[in-house]
Amino acid sequence: MAQYDLVSLRSFITVVECGSFVRAAEQLGASTAAISRHVATLERALDTQLISRTTRRSDLTEAGRRFYEDLQSVFQLLGAAEERVRVGRESVTGLLRVAVPLSFGIARMAPLLPAFMRRHPDLKIELLLEDRYTDLQAEGIDVAIRIGSLRDSSLVATRIGTVARLFCAAPAYLMEKGEPQHPVDLQGHSCLHYSLLSVREEWSVAFDGTGHTPQINGPLSANNAEVLAECAIQGMGIVLLPRFVVAQALADGRLREVLTAYNPDPFGLYAVRISRQFTPARLRLFIAYMRESFQDALL
């Protein structure tokens, strides 16, 4: 049998799952050069190139792909064994990279993180706040929090909560323009648009079952919900936003809910991760904590 060690195997499998030597080094808390040496040692022991390296990217060779697939059952057993040893311990270690929509991260995620990190003081979290559809594999992300429909069926999704969406506007705007009584009335109003969704995708929910096609117009589109909420507060128009974005403005009267009988179905809130046979303890515990925190609330 070829001679190589567990460190070389773990380095190789982490490079594959993170998509690069740099991200694998961050994940394992080592230097990029060290990870590269470990993989090279493994390749020499096997007398086979596993990863094709260029100045810009690293790709699995066919032999590397087969070797990675065969290693999955080995590391599943190893991970389970490690997990049994850790049972009863209060802390986990390593780096957890989490991608979260900006508004949700600020409003709902940030208040929860300190308690989780106090519970696991040896764990490091890198929180990536951005309103775009992240590529978990390419960007080395362990878990992403996503709201609404899921596009990539290759990911493992855990539903952790429910997000309500509301139509609302400033009292001054409604005083001047009148309050819509039916979704069709939106066609005569200024509607502020969330630009990461198409106009049809965002607003057609209001017209479901009415027999009408939405013809929505407005002076502003933006790729951030908090910007739209603030502009609505200042009387620019009607918005359709998650409850967690507008909850405070509704509570203090800066916004008022409208079309309450036509609220769209709530969105699902999901934690999504790359499909792996073994889920690290730090990732499993984080997802469980999120589900525990959100599952009984209509956010």
Span 101-150, pLDDT tens digits: 998 999 899 999 999 999 888 889 999 998 777 778 778 888 999 887 77
Looking at domain 94-158+268-294, its CATH class is alpha beta
Q: How far apart are CA 132 and CA 47, in angstroms?
A: 42
The overall average pLDDT reported for the chain is 83
pLDDT of residue 6: 83
- Report the DSSP pairing between strands 256-258 and 193-194: unpaired
CATH architecture classification, 6-86? Orthogonal Bundle (1.10)
Whether 6-86 shares its CATH topology with 165-265 is answered no
CATH topology of domain 165-265: D-Maltodextrin-Binding Protein; domain 2 (3.40.190)
Closest Cα to residue 289, out of 151, 165, 143?
143
Domain limits, the chain:
6-86, 94-158+268-294, 165-265
Closest Cα to residue 146, out of 116, 97, 102?
102
Closest Cα to residue 165, out of 217, 103, 252?
103
Span 147-174, pLDDT tens digits: 877 766 667 888 888 899 999 999 999 9
Span 4-33, pLDDT tens digits: 788 888 888 888 877 788 888 887 878 888
